[in-house]
Structure 1
């Protein structure tokens, strides 16, 4: 992010009703316009966290993020550039029933409308572009997705400063802050299952997330660095199970193992391999890549990959 630009995030919130695809438009009170839910990043937030918070604040609906659908850029009256990141976001019927929205000083009304009709209803060209990108997912039949998140463990105590077994190396103070910082963005993507190398630095990285979710950590030596060094790592079995399960999950591992995890995701989904796999697995400590896969047909290939740097 640049210091001069204003950053914001939001989403194309969608649902299926009686077999029809509907998207949610907001009617803003002050501007008397029709647009997509979005808002500015609060201090300390990631863009993903901003998107789910703003969608909830403006619509009363709690969502998890799906595939990224574009970035809009435009000049504000103050002459500063505003950069808005958007994701698709499915609204479940339960979330809609639990919405506490009432008309207010910011949002006058919410309107569910057919997706293609919404394109004509938007007040601004930038929102039209985002909806057109969203409709490409619809046309490709890959709207409903689930994420597999590949996470590199947070900053750990250097080997030269540790006298015990390598598998026992703990996180540093900065690493513990990084572990806490990934909780919000990973929850924004709806992660529910937590898998980790059995090394202490990986387990400690996902421990705050597991606590926040009320979930156990599934520890496995199959994606540990010791197993990778010994040539006994088994990334294929774990990835195969996660793709078949079609459930949001995070897999925390080590730098040399990450390329194998990404490669196995590509193979398990019949995705053509390319340099993008190397780019998305070259992660700093505490960084992660979100791999979006089709929930109805995972074999159709990777839909999108987005990489998030460490916050701390």
Structure 2
């Protein structure tokens, strides 16, 4: 399940949510964009079977979370590998079977390298790809629900909030209870379920282009990020500055850790503990000049293995939080 909480550049907060049920078909996709000669272009797909023009998207595979579905489907349909940016809405409509289809969309920039590496050729599913202006996209898209997504995307463009980077706040996966552990609290390991959670979130975290991993030095946090670090073939940074022990002792330094990540302007993860998360989200708000509100509390109220993605402006991080979305593992 994925719950999304979105704050736009005007400070308006929306909290749409969706529940996994057998009464709906879930899918995910993206508004893929690039800048050509200083002009914004949107990628449309011309589908062979349906003879329509739409945005790249597709159904969730078993065990997938929505973010990884979006990245996979964009690559399968267009040959372009993307990292997800700001969420741009959810479309809902009924299929011929009377089931509701729920499609989550993100903005996603197509880099020059990704386009050069694309191996797309017309096939039985996709007849053609077309890069067009936002205005032409509005005229060409076949379905009103796609136009609603494009309209939300256009507001991001107008607000200058399209190019972003994420700072992801991750709660460690399920750990052995204190009552069943004889060692120090910091040495508590993950349970079997926690290990499965840690593996299950690798795909969704990769979908946001994460390259930097910073974690509490507690064993349960280190074990949570280890599968991701292995998949990325990158080392993670451990620090007691965002640990629960330091937080309880009053020796933590959340501001220093968050400040470095915001200044770096690169996709990053901060893995910490339930009691510490509200402070981390608060420091992100302070570092970016964002008005604090209940949306921060919601983003910090995470189950084990869940994470909140905080999207910040790449060109002006101090302009405030662009959006926040929360992802909950299905394990």
Q: Do Structure 1 and Structure 2 share a fold, with TM-score over 0.5? A: yes
Name the structure, 1 or 2, with higher relative contact order (CA <8 Å, separation 6+). 2
Instruction: Tell me by how many angstroms 1:76 deviates.
Output: 0.8
Distance 2:158 2:212 in 1: 30
The residue that corresponds to 2:193 in the other structure is: 174
Instruction: Tell me by how many angstroms 1:217 deviates.
Output: 1.1
The residue that corresponds to 2:294 in the other structure is: 275
SS in 1 for 2:139: helix
Segments of 5+ residues of structure 1 without an aligned counterpart are none
- Asked if 1:71 corresponds to 2:80, the answer is no
Q: How does 1:233-252 map to 2 (within 5 A)?
A: 233-252=252-271
- Asked if 1:85 corresponds to 2:107, the answer is no
The residue that corresponds to 1:139 in the other structure is: 158
Q: How does 1:119-134 map to 2 (within 5 A)?
A: 119-134=138-153
CA deviations on 1:179-234 (whole Å, 9 max, x unpaired) are 10110000001111100000000000000000100111100000000000100110
4+ long deviations beyond 2 Å: none
Distance 1:138 1:178 in 2: 35
RMSD over equivalenced CA pairs, Å: 0.6
Q: Which among 10, 15, 23 is matched to residue 34 of structure 2?
A: 15
CA deviations on 1:224-271 (whole Å, 9 max, x unpaired) are 000001001100001001000000001000011000000000000000
- Asked if 1:40 corresponds to 2:54, the answer is no
Distance 1:237 1:280 in 2: 21
The residue that corresponds to 1:206 in the other structure is: 225
Q: Which among 311, 316, 327 is matched to residue 292 of structure 1?
A: 311
Instruction: Tell me by how many angstroms 1:310 deviates.
Output: 2.2
Distance 2:130 2:210 in 1: 29
Distance 2:94 2:300 in 1: 34
- Asked if 1:60 corresponds to 2:57, the answer is no
Distance 1:240 1:221 in 2: 16
The residue that corresponds to 1:96 in the other structure is: 115
2:65–2:329 contact (8 Å) kept in structure 1: no
SS in 2 for 1:83: strand
Distance 2:146 2:303 in 1: 33
Instruction: Tell me by how many angstroms 1:161 deviates.
Output: 1.0
Segments of 5+ residues of structure 2 without an aligned counterpart are 1-19
Instruction: Tell me by how many angstroms 1:290 deviates.
Output: 0.4
Instruction: Tell me by how many angstroms 1:115 deviates.
Output: 1.6
SS in 2 for 1:134: helix
CA deviations on 1:55-95 (whole Å, 9 max, x unpaired) are 00000000010000000001111111111000000000000
How high is the TM-score relative to the length of structure 2? 0.94
The residue that corresponds to 1:220 in the other structure is: 239
Distance 2:126 2:82 in 1: 18
The residue that corresponds to 1:107 in the other structure is: 126
Distance 1:311 1:5 in 2: 16
Distance 2:321 2:135 in 1: 25
2:282–2:296 contact (8 Å) kept in structure 1: yes
